[in-house]
Amino acid sequence: MEITNVSEYQEIAKQKLPKMVYDYYASGAEDQWTLHENRFAFTKILFRPRILIDVSKIDMTTTVLGFKISMPIMIAPTALQKMAHPEGEYATARAASAAGTIMTLSSWATSSVEEVASTGPGIRFFQLYVYKDRNVVAQLVRRAERAGFKAIALTVDTPRLGRREADIKNRFTLPPFLTLKNFEGLDLGKMDKADDSGLASYVAGQIDRSLSWKDVKWLQTITTLPILVKGVLTAEDARIAVEAGASGIIVSNHGARQLDYVPATIMALEEVVKAAQGRVPVFLDGGVRRGTDVFKALALGASGIFIGRPVVFSLAAEGEAGVRKVLSMLREEFELTMALSGCRSLKEITRDHIVTEWDSPHPRPAPRL
């Protein structure tokens, strides 16, 4: 079967992967309302295309924190990629580099920062969880710096792990042949079996629940790398992030894996963008499966988007070639959307190019007499 869109990889991954692994990647928290809403909310945004504009040349390039990339489509941090494919994060790093875009490596990767750096050149960010032992955190940040990573994406929505019922049912744990590579030498690389989710038990034991805004300041004392705050959903927190010295904000609900019944990220985006007032770039993470989704996010003020599940599903299906194909398909769809909307560069994509369900109150139907 010829793959013609990003979503088709999910079904292939479901057939290829063990149930425990597929469910870990695919599932959300509790009722999974937000999981479905992350996708469905994009259908509430329609285009207002402009016509008779010369779109023979289209420029999708942009800069993120000063780094030039080929398109505003980047790779989000997704943990445990070697469960999907033996090459795991190596394959993802090479695919991102070939596409001229940014890969974000998870703290809980099955390849270390040094191993990912060894795959060759590329712009890479490092996603950070803050452990109770701050020496572990400082050590990890220094290693990421030495390995040439260009920014820290601090995940702020996980003081505890969300209730992922599929993982509880499956007694999820890391397969015995894999470790959390960044923590291997620190006796923190293994995940014990538990009566529920092995990952939930690991998080309860290791992750610092006392994490607060003062720790964003603390992080700035141990690294010169720019810090992106990942997990912002409200204007209030966007304003505090800017005041705390964040270099950027990632609007994220953790792939709908943390608190259920939070808004889809595309619904929360505009509020955060308005609160940031252009002082820092705002990015969207969650639910993007089409080039049309990328355009909608940029029209609502995002400086770029990150994709997560499409990467692990395509990795499971076809390894590095699958990830390359996902990036290529999204790029082509996005370029086509720009052309058909009458936009030749990213700066030409404006709020006027879309209309949303929440833009104006819906007229009520006339009462029956």
Per-residue confidence (pLDDT) for residue 189, from 0 to 100:
52
365 in a structural domain: no
| Residue range of the domain that includes 222 | 6-356
What does the alpha-carbon distance between residue 272 and residue 249 come to, in Å, rounded to a whole number?
9
Do the domain assignments include residue 103?
yes
- Residue 369 maps to a domain: no
Report yes or no on 89 lying in a domain: yes
In whole angstroms, give the CA distance from residue 87 to residue 66.
30
Q: List residues bridging with 125 in a β-sheet.
A: 104, 151
Burial of 367 per CB tally in 10 Å (0-12, 13-18, 19+): exposed
> Which residues have a Cβ under 8 Å from the Cβ of 88 and sit 6 or more positions away?
81, 82, 109, 110, 111, 315
Which residues of the chain fall short of a pLDDT of 70? 187-198, 200, 361-369
Q: What angle do CA 203, 87, 324 make, to 5 degrees?
A: 105
CB 164 within 8 A of CB 28: yes
Number of domains, the chain? 1
Cite the annotated binding site by residue number.
24, 77-79, 106, 127, 129, 155, 164, 230, 252, 254, 257, 285-289, 308-309
Q: Is residue 238 part of a domain?
A: yes
DSSP annotation string for 270-311 = HHHHHHHTTSS-EEEES---SHHHHHHHHHTT-SEEEE-HHH
Instruction: Please indicate, yes or no, if residue 236 is contained in any of the structural domains.
Output: yes
Question: Half-sphere exposure of residue 130, counting CA atoms within 13 Å on the CB side?
Answer: 22
Provide the β-strand partners of residue 131. 207
Answer yes or no: 362 catalytic: no
Would you state the pLDDT for residue 257? 96
Sorted by sequence, the CB contacts under 8 Å of residue 61 that are 6+ apart come out as 68, 69, 70, 71
Rounded distance between C-alpha atoms, residue 164 and residue 169, angstroms: 9
CATH of the domain at 231: 3.20.20.70
189 located within any domain: yes
> 229 φ, ψ to 5°?
-95, 115
Distances (CA, A) of 199 to 97, 108, 110, 115, 182: 30, 10, 14, 23, 16
Annotated binding site for FMN: 77-79, 106, 127, 155, 230, 252, 285-289, 308-309
Is residue 151 in some structural domain? yes
Binding site, annotated residues for glyoxylate: 24, 129, 164, 254, 257
The type of residue at 134 is R
Distance CA 323, CA 52 (A): 35
